[in-house]
Amino acid sequence: MRIALASLLCALALPIFAQEMEQVLLTVAPSVVMCAYNSRYETHLVVYNQNARKVTTACAGDGCGDIGPTAGREITGNASSVPLPTFLYMPKADANGLRMSLIVESGDRDNQEDRSFAELPIVRAADFVDTKMSFVGVRMDPGFRQTVRIFGLDGTTFGKVQVRAYDLATEELVYDEPMWLWPLSDERNDQGQALRPSFSMECDLSSDIPANGHQVRIEIEPLSEGLKFWAFVSVTNNKTQHFYTIVPR
C-alpha cells in the first residue's frame, strides 16, 4: 500500500514539476532608478490574466509572483530594485492568456511634473535570433543620446557581436565596434533556468558618431557560434529624459 501511495503521489506531482515553461524577456525589471543627466526612471509591469486559474510567474529578485484568475496586477519596483533585464517564466499552457505591458515613467529629478511615459519591449524566447539584426532610422540629433542594449538568450555564457552603423543617406560606415555579452548573475528558477540574460550596452552612440541631425542604420552581427540574441535602441532627450524605442526591422 505504501508503494502504491508513493507511486500515486509521484504521478500527481510529475505534471507540476515537468510542465513546460514559457520564457519571455523583460528588457528592464520593475524598478526605480536615478541615472546620469539627473534622470529618474520608474518601471512598472502591468499584467492581466485572462486564464480562469491563477498563474504563478518567476523572475529575478522574486519581484513577480502570482496573478489571480481573470484579474489584473501592477508590479512595481522600489529604490532597492535592480534596473537590469530579467527573464519572466510562466507555464506555457497559460502564456497566451497573460497580457503584459512594461511601462516606464521618465523625467528629470528636479522637474518631476514634466514626466513622460513610454513602453519597453517584452520579448518571447522565440524572437531571439542567431543572424544579423538591423535598425533603420536612428536619429543622431544634438542633445540626444542613442543607447543600444543587447541581450543573450543563454544567460550563463559569454557572447560576442559586432555593432556597425552606416549613414542612412550615404552608406558610409560611421561606427564599427565589437561588444561582449556578459552573464549578469547566477540567479535561477526552480527548474535551473537562468533568470537573467547575458547583456551588453552602448550608452551613447553620439560619443562616437557626430550628432549632426543625420540618421543611421545599425546592424548587429553575432560572432559567437550558437549565440541567440535580441536588441533594441532607445533615443533619449538629455534635458527632459523623455525617450522612444526602436526595435529590429
Tell me how far apart the alpha carbons of residues 126 and 24 are, in angstroms, rounded to a whole number: 9
Q: Please check the confidence at residue 16 and state whether its pLDDT lies above 60.
A: no
Q: Please check the confidence at residue 5 and state whether its pLDDT lies above 60.
A: no
Residue 77 — very low, low, confident or very high, per pLDDT cuts 50/70/90? confident
How many helices (H) does the chain have, and how many strands (E)?
2, 18
* Cβ count near 130 (within 10 Å): 12
Give the β-pairing of 116-120 and 98-108. Answer: antiparallel
Look at residue 79 in the predicted model and tell me its pLDDT. Answer: 67
More confident residue, 78 or 150: 150
Q: Which amino acid is at 143?
A: G
Cα–chain-centroid distance for residue 218? Answer: 19
Query: Phi and psi (nearest 5°) for 15?
Result: -60, -30
Residue 106 — very low, low, confident or very high, per pLDDT cuts 50/70/90? very high
Residue 64 — very low, low, confident or very high, per pLDDT cuts 50/70/90? confident
9-13, 73-77, 101-105: range with lowest mean pLDDT: 9-13
More confident residue, 76 or 219: 219
Q: Please check the confidence at residue 7 and state whether its pLDDT lies above 90.
A: no
- The mean pLDDT of 172-190, rounded to a whole number, is 95
Residue 27 near residue 149 (C-beta atoms within 8 A): yes
Question: Using one digit for the tens of pLDDT, what is the confidence trace for 193-232?
Answer: 999 999 999 999 999 999 999 999 999 999 999 999 999 9
9-18, 48-57, 100-109, 166-175: range with lowest mean pLDDT: 9-18
Tell me how far apart the alpha carbons of residues 157 and 30 are, in angstroms, rounded to a whole number: 24
Residue 92 near residue 20 (C-beta atoms within 8 A): yes
Q: Please check the confidence at residue 172 and state whether its pLDDT lies above 90.
A: yes
What is the 8-class DSSP label of residue 168?
T
Look at residue 132 in the predicted model and tell me its pLDDT. Answer: 97
Residue 135 near residue 150 (C-beta atoms within 8 A): no
Question: Using one digit for the tens of pLDDT, what is the confidence trace for 111-156?
Answer: 988 999 999 999 999 999 999 999 999 999 999 999 999 999 999 9
Share of the chain above pLDDT 70, in %: 92
Tell me how far apart the alpha carbons of residues 232 and 133 are, in angstroms, rounded to a whole number: 10
